[in-house]
Amino acid sequence: MVIAEQGSAETKTPSARSLKSSRPLVAMDNVSKVFSNGTLALSGMSMTVRPGEFISLLGPSGCGKSTALRIIAGLGGVSEGEIDWPSFRINSRGLPDGEISFVFQEPTLMPWQTVFGNVYLPLRLKGVSKKAASERILTALESVGLQDFAGAYPRELSGGMKMRVSIARALVTEPKLLLMDEPFAALDEITRQKLNDDVLALWKATGITVIFVTHSVYESAYLANRIVVMKARPGRVHSDFPLHTSLERDVQYRTSEEYRQACAEVSTMLLEAMGGEEH
């Protein structure tokens, strides 16, 4: 049994942490979002994010994955329903104050800053001096294997390396929650696999919670320990289930029967979600 219904034994996964005991990080309750042009992007979406999870938000394009992610990040409010961040410091605007990092589909680097300057940004905005931040920046760069490129400008880096800088910038604040919006969609397959492995390694090493938006079934099945499949027009949750495997997620897992089966199950779910559109 690869895919279990939610709530069944979760302790098999080596990386599964005490999920039930702690407070949730994010609680979305019946959230709807209407854009200013009248489009209903999300309708009645509910989802709870618990510490230590690696959630993959999967769905056809236009299903509101990115919108949901932006709402979780506190970028742009909700039209209806409620979202709460029980484990975060809340600022005067009622939004989480730091501790959430975002990795966009594009590397989103400042071209006039070096790699160091780009990773320094979140700390600089918090008023941390360059000297005090230096060690943390270099640690973050080391964690993505870019310690030798601190002085380089973004234009001198490859697409994959730019993405790594973007991840280092997200990690430098030591966030509790890392949101990734189709981060590697624009990269070639080999670079993408390498970066997926690196993100998994970081997740295991730091205990950070990740929400990873993707439209790739294979990426979902490889990375996540919980999959949320979304349905389009309007965007809502179609199915939400944990993905268990006793296997380490590595090269062997990629070729294993269990992975193949997981892909098949996730594919079925996605097809179901997309089939609903035609009715």
Partner 1 sequence: MSTTANETLTSPDLPKETDGKAQALGKKQSSALKLPTKESAAAAKRRERILTVLVPICVIAILIALWQILVTVNDIPHYILPGPGLVVKSLMSDWPILLPALWVTTKITLASLALALIGGGGMAILLVQSRWIETALYPITVILQVTPIIAIAPLILIYAPSTQSALLICAFVVAFFPILSNMVQGLKSVDHNLLNLFELYGASRWQTLIYLKLPASLPYFMTGLRIGGGLALIAAVVAEFAAGSAGAGSGLAFRLLESQFRLNISRLFAALFLLASLGVLIFALTSFISWWTLHRWHESSLKREN
Is residue 80 a contact point for partner 1 (CB under 8 A)? no
- Our CB check for partner 1 shows the closer of 95 and 274 to be 95
H helical segments located in 109-216: 115-125, 130-143, 159-171, 189-206
CB of 61 to partner 1, least distance (A): 18
- Our CB check for partner 1 shows the closer of 177 and 221 to be 177
Is residue 154 a contact point for partner 1 (CB under 8 A)? yes
- Our CB check for partner 1 shows the closer of 17 and 70 to be 70
CB 220 within 8 A of CB 258: no
CB of 249 to partner 1, least distance (A): 28
Binding mask 175-194 for partner 1 (x = CB under 8 A): --------------------
Is residue 270 a contact point for partner 1 (CB under 8 A)? no
Q: How far apart are CA 191 and CA 174, in angstroms?
A: 25
CB 165 within 8 A of CB 116: no
Is residue 64 a contact point for partner 1 (CB under 8 A)? no
Segment 216 to 235, residues that bind partner 1, using CB under 8 A: none
Is residue 74 a contact point for partner 1 (CB under 8 A)? yes
| 258: enclosing H helix or E strand | helix 257-275
Binding mask 103-132 for partner 1 (x = CB under 8 A): -x-x-x-xxxx-------xx-xxx------
CB of 112 to partner 1, least distance (A): 5
- Our CB check for partner 1 shows the closer of 30 and 113 to be 113
**Count of other CB atoms within 10 angstroms of residue 111:** 8
| 179: enclosing H helix or E strand | strand 177-181
- Our CB check for partner 1 shows the closer of 38 and 127 to be 127
Q: How far apart are CA 34 and CA 123, in angstroms?
A: 33
- Our CB check for partner 1 shows the closer of 91 and 158 to be 91
Among 85, 70, 114, smallest CA distance to 27 is for 85
Phi, psi of 124 (to 5 degrees): -60, -40
- Our CB check for partner 1 shows the closer of 25 and 229 to be 25
CB 54 within 8 A of CB 245: no
Across 191-230, b (16+ Cβ under 10 Å) vs e yields bbbebbbbbbebbeeeebbbbbbbbbbbbbbbbbbbbbbb
* Footprint of partner 1 (CB under 8 A): 70, 73-75, 91, 97-98, 100-102, 104, 106, 108, 110-113, 121-122, 124-126, 153-155, 173
